Amino acid sequence: MKPSVAGALASLRGKRAVLVGDLVLDAYVYGETVRVSREAPVLVVRKERTTHRLGGAANTAANLAALGLSTTMVSALGSDSSGDTTRAMLQAAQVSTEAVMTSDVATPVKTRILAGAFGTTRQQVLRIDDEPERPIGAAVQERIAEQLRKHAAHADVVVVSDYGMGAVTGAVVETVRELIARGALVCVDSRYQASAFAGATAIMPNVPEAEALAGFPLSSKDAVNRAGSEILARLKYQAVLLTQGKGGMSLFRAGMATAHVDIVGEDEVTDVTGAGDTVTATFSAALAGNIGMTNGMKLANVAAGIVVTRLGTATASPQEITAVAERAGVELEPWDASST
Q: Which residue, 322, 272, 258, is CA-closest to 3?
A: 322
Coil/strand/helix, residue 125: strand
Q: Is 334 buried (19+), middle (13-18) or exposed (0-12) by CB count in 10 A?
A: exposed
* Terminal CA-CA length for the chain: 18
Q: Is 168 buried (19+), middle (13-18) or exposed (0-12) by CB count in 10 A?
A: buried
Q: Could you count the other beta carbons within 10 Å of the beta carbon of residue 229?
A: 15
Are 162 and 184 in contact by the 8 Å Cβ rule? The answer is no
Is 26 noted as a catalytic residue in this protein?
no
Q: Which residue, 67, 7, 57, 319, is CA-closest to 187?
A: 57
75: phi then psi, degrees, rounded to nearest 5: -175, -155
**Identified catalytic residue from 22, 80, 277, 336:** 277
Are 242 and 279 in contact by the 8 Å Cβ rule? The answer is no
Are 72 and 151 in contact by the 8 Å Cβ rule? The answer is yes
Catalytic residues: 277
